[in-house]
Amino acid sequence: MATRSTTLKETRRTRSRPEARRRPRTCRHFANFIAGIRKGEKLNAPISVGNVAVTMLQLSNIAWEVNRVLVLDTKDGRIQGDEEAMKMWGREYEKGWAPHV
């Protein structure tokens, strides 16, 4: 549920860009993320917040698929003692596309 201050902030941000008002919030959020990367625009939410949200979503999808509660390591968020679930944690990349951190 949007608060009054969020609604006013959203209105100010989109007032000068009519096309932005027609897009759903998730699209605007993604567009902001891409603009932050490409143009250095200020992000609407810190990367750390997005990381937690996406990680929790991924873990809930895995728990749903294996149909059981997952036990996580509190330090790194990895699934503990469940090889089947852990196989769903990663992904295979095409040759040359794997990220290097």
**Rounded Cα gap, residues 23 and 28, in angstroms:** 6
The domain ranges of the chain are 47-87
Three-state secondary structure of 20-69: HHHCCHHHHHHHHHHHHHHHCCCCCCCHHHHHHHHHHHHHHHHHHHHCCC
Q: What's residue 34's pLDDT?
A: 92
Q: What's residue 3's pLDDT?
A: 46
Q: What's residue 39's pLDDT?
A: 95
**Rounded Cα gap, residues 30 and 63, in angstroms:** 26
Q: What's residue 5's pLDDT?
A: 46
Ordered per-residue pLDDT tens for the chain, 101 residues: 444 444 445 555 555 555 556 667 778 888 998 999 999 999 988 888 888 888 899 999 999 999 999 999 988 888 999 999 999 988 888 999 988 87
Q: What's residue 51's pLDDT?
A: 86
Which neighbouring-strand residues pair with 79? Answer: 72
pTM summary value: 0.59
